[in-house]
């Protein structure tokens, strides 16, 4: 059983496509959606992540397919959406979660590195949204949630991903206004620092950078994958029918940090999570 606050069968008869669905926030979102009745299609560049994700979902009784896809490549996105429709019948919900970046001072980022991060985090969300709209959502509506980041004050040491995610925040509004008449809602979530499963694969220096900033928020801790997934599910759900073009911050106030009243040490906002560490 997957821990959830949502009612059983909330996403019954729905099909969700989740990019980067094999790991981290994407997998957590996929697990919870499938537990609530959705058929989930995981899209990822990495076959082993897909296999692992599908297995994890099936173990909890959910139904999942994995499709290899490079979201930076238009043809790969077209093939992915066609295969998803072929395997699952249709797509009702899209979560643009896949992303990738690397820490670097701006002056050391090559054009190739810059372009790669923009293509993954901004172009990928655009290509996937466009293809799913053209093949499914134009005719029957749907809901899109993009996963971006806390880039509201810039994103020092990852300027490429900050620029890309700010672009997706803006794209969220453009698509919401263009596609509302088709019954399509488009929203984003902007997580703060999350203790995601991928964190352990980061270089030690970068990991300690994250942990050193862990308490710069009102919960005085890192966020959990479950806390981000809960927000994504809400925005996908019919309860958010009157919300579109919005970005919901899931950062315990990290983005409104004030040096005038710095967060104090406490544990009064315990994490929403499945398992104790
Ligand atoms: N995750 C990170 N980069 C990706 C890409 N280009 N395509 C799909 N998933 C990804």
pLDDT at site 198: 79
At residue 237, φ and ψ (nearest 5 deg) are -80, 165
What does the CA dihedral 153, 159, 160, 164 come to, rounded to 10 degrees? 0
pLDDT at site 206: 79
Q: How far apart are CA 78 and CA 72, in angstroms?
A: 11
- Residues 34-62 have pLDDT tens digits of 999 999 999 999 999 999 999 999 999 99
Query: Is residue 228 over pLDDT 70?
Result: yes
Higher pLDDT, 210 or 233: 233
Atom of ligand 1 nearest to the CA of 73: 6
Q: What is the largest CA-CA distance in the chain?
A: 55
Separation of CA 258 and ligand 1 centre (Å): 35
Name the least confident of 112-126, 193-207, 217-231, 248-262.
193-207
Query: By C-alpha distance, which of 250, 247, 235, 273 is closest to 16?
Result: 235
Query: Is residue 182 over pLDDT 70?
Result: yes
Domains and CATH numbers, the chain: 15-249 (3.40.50.720)
- Ligand 1 site residues (CB inside 6 A) read 19-20, 44-45, 69-72, 98, 100, 120, 124
24, 124, 131, 161: residue to mutate for ligand 1 pocket, most atoms within 8 A of CB = 124
Query: Is residue 277 over pLDDT 80?
Result: no
Atom of ligand 1 nearest to the CA of 70: 7
Instruction: Average the pLDDT over 112-128 and give the result.
Output: 98
Query: By C-alpha distance, which of 182, 85, 172 is closest to 135?
Result: 85
Kindly report the CA angle at 246 between 243 and 250, in degrees rounded to 5? 110
Instruction: Average the pLDDT over 211-216 and give the result.
Output: 93
pLDDT at site 276: 53
Of all protein residues, whose CA lies closest to atom 7 belonging to ligand 1?
70
pLDDT band, very low/low/confident/very high, at 137 (cuts 50, 70, 90): very high
Q: What is the mean pLDDT of the chain?
A: 96
pLDDT at site 201: 76
Q: How far apart are CA 21 and CA 158, in angstroms?
A: 23
What's the N-to-C CA distance of the chain in angstroms? 18
- Residues 55-89 have pLDDT tens digits of 999 999 999 999 999 999 999 999 999 999 999 99
Q: How far apart are CA 82 and CA 63, in angstroms?
A: 18
pLDDT band, very low/low/confident/very high, at 204 (cuts 50, 70, 90): confident
Atom of ligand 1 nearest to the CA of 76: 7
Atom of ligand 1 nearest to the CA of 119: 6
Separation of CA 242 and ligand 1 centre (Å): 31
């Amino acid at each position: 059983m997957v821990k959830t606050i949502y009612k059983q069968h909330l996403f019954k008869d729905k099909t969700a496509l989740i990019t980067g669905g094999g790991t981290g926030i994407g997998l957590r979102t996929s697990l919870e959606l499938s537990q609530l009745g959705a058929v989930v299609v995981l899209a990822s560049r990495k076959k082993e992540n897909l296999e692992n994700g599908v297995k994890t979902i099936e173990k909890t009784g959910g139904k999942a397919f994995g499709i290899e896809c490079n979201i930076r490549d238009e043809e790969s996105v077209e093939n992915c959406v066609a295969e998803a429709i072929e395997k699952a019948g249709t797509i009702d919900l899209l979560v643009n979660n896949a992303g990738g970046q690397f820490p670097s001072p701006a002056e050391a980022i090559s054009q190739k590195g810059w372009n790669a991060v923009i293509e993954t985090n901004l172009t990928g969300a655009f290509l996937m949204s466009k293809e799913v709209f053209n093949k499914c959502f134009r005719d029957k509506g749907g809901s899109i949630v993009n996963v971006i980041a806390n880039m509201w004050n810039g994103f020092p040491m990852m300027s490429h991903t900050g620029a890309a995610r700010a672009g997706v925040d803006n794209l969220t509004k453009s698509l919401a206004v263009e596609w509302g008449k088709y019954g399509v809602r488009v929203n984003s979530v902007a997580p703060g620092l999350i203790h995601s499963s991928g964190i352990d694969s980061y270089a030690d220096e970068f990991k300690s950078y994250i942990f050193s900033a862990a308490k710069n928020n009102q919960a005085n801790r890192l966020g959990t994958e479950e806390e981000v997934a809960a927000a994504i599910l809400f925005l996908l759900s019919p309860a958010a029918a009157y919300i579109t073009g919005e970005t919901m911050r899931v950062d315990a106030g990290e983005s409104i940090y004030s040096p005038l009243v710095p967060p104090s040490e406490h544990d009064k906002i315990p994490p929403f999570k499945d398992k104790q560490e």
